[in-house]
Amino acid sequence: MKKRITIQDIADALGLSRNTISKALNGTGCVASDTKDLIFQKATELGYKQFSLLQDAEYECDKTITNREIALFTKSVPGSQYLSSTLLDSFQKKISALGYRLTIYVLRDTIISSCSLPENFNADSTDAILILELFDETYTNFLCNLETPTLFVDSFANPQNKTIASDILYMENKSSTYHLITHLLNTGCKKIGYVGDYLHCQSFFERWYGYKEAMHTNSCSNYKDFCILENDSSPYNNPSWLASKIQSLKELPDAFFCANDFLAICTIKALKSLNYKLPDDIKVAGFDDSPESQIVEPQLTTISIKGKDMGYIATNLLLNRIKYPDSPFTVTYTHTDIILPRFHKNYTLNTKMPLV
C-alpha cells in the first residue's frame, strides 16, 4: 500500500520546519516565493494530497499529451491587469511542464455579443478553457454549455446567486474587506466611502457586501453619502472626473475604500488635485496589493490576493476537471491578507477568520 505523504515528510526532505511547509501549502503567513516554489515542487514529487494529481498528470503527459492546448479567453490583454499577469505566470509554467501549450484569445465585443467562438479556436485540440476578466452573464452561460471543461477566475456580479455550471475560482473578498473597514473604523475613520461599480464583477460585489456589513455593524447608516458608485463605463481613470465626483459629495469622508488598487491610485490623484493631504486629511485603501500600491505616495492600505498561488490552484482545478469531467462543480476561494502601510505602524493584519 502506498505510504500517505504528510507535511512532516516534506519538511524532512527539505530541511524546513513543519510550520513553514504548512503556511506555504495553505496560503497563510509569509513564505518567500522561492521557498514556496521549492515546497510545491517537493509536494508534487512526493505526491502530497492535491499535488498528487500533478504527479499523475506529469506521468501521463510523457506518454499521451502531445499537441494539446489549454485556451485562455479574456476581454483584456494579459498583463494589463495585476491578477491576470501574476496568475498566468505560474499557471503557464505549470501546464507547460505537463506538456500543454497555452493559447490566448482576446475576445472582441462582437464575439461576446454574438455568443460565438474565435475563428481560430480549435475545440478538437483544446482540453480546457481558462476564463479571465470576462464578466458577461450571457456569454458565461454560452461557454458553460460547451463540451470543453471551463474554469472562471471571478465571474459576472451575481447578487441573486444564480447557478453557474462551471468551476469558479475567487479570491476571498467579503471577510477581508469587512475586517479592513472595521480596522479603519476602530482607528478613527468614522465616515468611509466606497469607490467603484460594485456590479462590475462578483469580486467587486463581494467587497461591497463586506464594506456594507462592516458599516451596518458599526451603526454607520449614512455610508452611501460618501460613496462613488457610477457604472464602470464612467471615466474612473480620469482624475478630473473623479475630483468632480468627490466635490459633489455632501461631505468629505475620513477614508475611501476602493474596489481595487487601480481605482485607489486614481482616487489619490484626484484628491491631490484638490490639494488634500494624504493620509492627514483623508486615507485611501484598495484591493490587490499590486506593485503600484507599494510605490504610490502615500503607500496604500490594501489586500493581498496572492495571484501566483491562484495560478497553481487554477492548474489543479482544471487538471482535475479534465480528468474527472463529471465530478460536481466547485467554487474555490483563496485566502487574502490585509496589508497596512506606514501610517498604520507597518504591520499585517491576518484575515484568517470566519466569513461574515
At residue 295 the predicted structure's pLDDT band, cuts being 50, 70 and 90, is confident
CB atoms within 10 A of CB 188: 9
At residue 1 the predicted structure's pLDDT band, cuts being 50, 70 and 90, is very low
Choosing from 63, 83, 107, the residue where a domain stops is: 63
> Residue 6's pLDDT is what?
85
Is residue 292 in some structural domain?
yes
**Cα four-point dihedral sign 239, 244, 247, 250:** negative
β-strand pairing of 348-350 with 337-339: antiparallel
Choosing from 41, 63, 85, the residue where a domain stops is: 63
pLDDT above 70 (res 52)? no
Is residue 314 in some structural domain?
no
Q: Indicate if 297 and 178 belong to the same structural domain.
A: yes
> Residue 347's pLDDT is what?
40
CB atoms within 10 A of CB 119: 7
CATH for 283: 3.40.50.2300
> Residue 35's pLDDT is what?
78
Is residue 324 in some structural domain?
no
CATH for 20: 1.10.260.40
List the one residue out of 235, 73, 244 whose CA is nearest residue 146.
Answer: 73
At residue 2 the predicted structure's pLDDT band, cuts being 50, 70 and 90, is low
> Could you tell me which residues come within 8 angstroms of residue 215 by beta carbon, excluding any fewer than 6 positions away?
181, 192, 221, 223
Is residue 231 in some structural domain?
yes
Is residue 54 in some structural domain?
yes
- Verdict on whether the full-model pTM lies above 0.85: no
Is residue 285 in some structural domain?
yes
Q: 345 lies in which domain range?
A: 174-305+339-350
> Could you tell me which residues come within 8 angstroms of residue 60 by beta carbon, excluding any fewer than 6 positions away?
none
Q: Indicate if 180 and 55 belong to the same structural domain.
A: no
Summarised one tens digit per residue, pLDDT across range 191-242 is 999 999 999 999 999 999 999 999 999 999 899 999 999 999 999 999 999 9
Burial class (CB in 10 A: 0-12, 13-18, 19+), 140: buried
Q: Indicate if 180 and 299 belong to the same structural domain.
A: yes
Instruction: Indicate the average pLDDT of the chain.
Output: 87
pLDDT above 50 (res 29)? yes
> Residue 231's pLDDT is what?
96
Choosing from 45, 63, 81, the residue where a domain stops is: 63
E strands in the chain = 69-74, 101-106, 126-132, 150-153, 167-171, 192-195, 255-258, 283-285, 302-304, 331-334, 337-339, 348-350
> Residue 64's pLDDT is what?
53
Summarised one tens digit per residue, pLDDT across range 315-349 is 999 999 999 999 999 999 999 999 987 445 434 44
CB atoms within 10 A of CB 238: 13
Distance CA 136, CA 199 (A): 11
What is the 8-class DSSP label of residue 249?
S
Is residue 232 in some structural domain?
yes
> Residue 65's pLDDT is what?
63
**Number of domains comprising the chain:** 2
Over range 14-41, report the average pLDDT: 74
> Could you tell me which residues come within 8 angstroms of residue 154 by beta carbon, excluding any fewer than 6 positions away?
132, 133, 135, 168, 169, 170, 201, 202, 203
Least confident stretch, 48-52, 175-179, 198-202: 48-52
Summarised one tens digit per residue, pLDDT across range 237-268 is 999 999 999 999 999 999 999 999 999 999 99
* Peptide bond preceding 298 in cis form (omega within 30 of 0): yes
Is residue 287 in some structural domain?
yes
> Residue 293's pLDDT is what?
81
pLDDT above 80 (res 66)? no
List the one residue out of 74, 132, 126 whose CA is nearest residue 100.
Answer: 126
pLDDT above 60 (res 106)? yes
Least confident stretch, 160-164, 265-269, 330-334, 349-353: 349-353
